[in-house]
Amino acid sequence: MVKSAPDRHQEIRDAVRALCAQFPDSYHREIDAQRAYPEAIVDALTAAGWLAALIPHEYGGSGLGLAEASVVMEEVNRSGGNAGACHGQMYNMGTLLRHGSEVQKRFYLPKIASGEWRLQSMGVTEPTSGTDTTKIRTTATRRGDRWVVNGQKVWISRIQHSDWMILLARTTPLAEVKKKTEGMSIFMVDLRAAEQSGMAVRPIANMVNHETNELFFENLELPAENLIGEEGQGFRYILDGLNAERTLIASECIGDGRWFIDRVTAYAGERVVFGRPIGQNQGVQFPIAEAFIEVEAADLMRFKACALFDAHEPCGTEANLAKYLAAKASWQAAGACLQFHGGFGFAHEYDVERKFRETRLYQVAPISTNLILSYVAEHVLGLPRSF
């Protein structure tokens, strides 16, 4: 393994590494080939309490900070796995924790912490509105003691491996609100019950082994008590949760980046062509060195975002910057790793092509690189709004 500076999370790193070592490359490769869900590693991470890192002790979780949680996710990806299969379990509950009532927290969080319930899914994106979330068309209308949901979502991950989903829906029409960000609310959806009445699921085959789906709602009824927080404030609640999500995904990219650098450094040192290791050529060394530098820089921004988050300080800028830098760095490392494996980079048995596909997602989801640039231009630099 290529050395990075020792940090204060070494104990967590060692424990997660030891757990992940039980799941070698061949495990992840087979799961990918079968397009299966990595149940065994998700179960092991759950049983060890790692996915409950951010749930406070009083609700049965580990009560750790975002910095520690981010190291867990980083190590899963650095081991060759893909935390994307289960990262939702770590951060989706944040919305409930911050905005749910005490009764809701006592009802959901202990079971999420123990793994009895999975809250792996969050339904925001829609086919027509895309990134322009305030234009969502899924509605929830109050009828007596129920909310009735109609509409459609797309790209909603882990539905088939989750018990609950957090759903964003419009509760006041766009034309009737003062600000376009108002009038949306969030709900807890019991997925198995919903599938029996009013929610249809269509899996989307895609480039990575990532279980994601289109959802169709036709008069899906939700109990009134499934509303989280105040009606009409859902967009703000979802935004609140994004800083943790972006920082955790940045840490997964850092884990990927380190995995690529470990692999390509080892390979370039051993592969002999023209009578010397390919890694002796500066044309090979420099892109790897550059990727290493970028991963290390992203790592600093990740920990800066974590420190602010854990101190309950605003961290939107740092979370976005960390996600941007880390996704870019892991993609650069992926390119160098694939390139310098030559033809072997394309062979499944080297695992490079799989990780290459997996890390590419983070240029687009959960927020595209362009939208981060737009955030920085408008909210950090104060340039005129473009939308």
Ligand X SMILES: Cc1cc2nc3c(=O)[nH]c(=O)nc-3n(C[C@H](O)[C@H](O)[C@H](O)COP(=O)(O)OP(=O)(O)OC[C@H]3O[C@@H](n4cnc5c(N)ncnc54)[C@H](O)[C@@H]3O)c2cc1C
- The residues of the shown chain that bind ligand X, judged by CB under 6 A, are 122-125, 130-131, 155-157, 206, 210, 212, 361, 364-368, 370, 374, 387
User: Cβ of 369: how many Cβ atoms within 10 Å?
Assistant: 15
Residue with Cβ nearer ligand X (197 or 370): 370
Taking the complex as a whole, how short is the minimal distance between the CB of residue 282 and ligand X, in angstroms? Answer: 34
Counting every residue written for the chain, the total comes to: 387
| Nearest distance from C-beta of residue 268 to ligand X, angstroms | 31
Name the DSSP letter for residue 378: I
DSSP classification of residue 12: H
Closest contact distance (angstroms) between CB of 165 and ligand X is: 9
Supply the minimum distance, in Å, between the C-beta of residue 8 and ligand X: 32
Residue type, 302: R
Look at the alpha carbons of 341, 288, 262, 367 in this order and tell me if their dihedral is positive or negative. Answer: negative
Q: Which is nearer to ligand X, 235 or 350 (CB)?
A: 235
Q: Of 68 and 245, which has the nearer Cβ to ligand X?
A: 245
Least separation in angstroms between residue 38's CB and ligand X is: 15
DSSP string across 312-372: T---HHHHHHHHHHHHHHHHHHHHHHHHHTGGGGGSGGG-HHHHHHHHHGGGTSSS-HHHH
Closest CA to 189 of 232, 229, 221: 221
Q: Report the alpha-carbon angle 39-198-113, nearest 5.
A: 35
Active site residues: 245
CA 122/CA 301 separation, integer angstroms? 26
Q: Residue with CB nearest ligand X?
A: 130
Shortest distance (Å) from residue 204 CB to ligand X: 8
Nearer to ligand X among residue 99 and residue 153 (C-beta) = 153
Per DSSP, the residues of 240-265 read HHHHHHHHHHHHHHHHHHHHHHHHHH
Exposed/middle/buried for 240, CB within 10 Å: 0-12, 13-18, 19+?
middle
Classify residue 143 by its DSSP letter: E
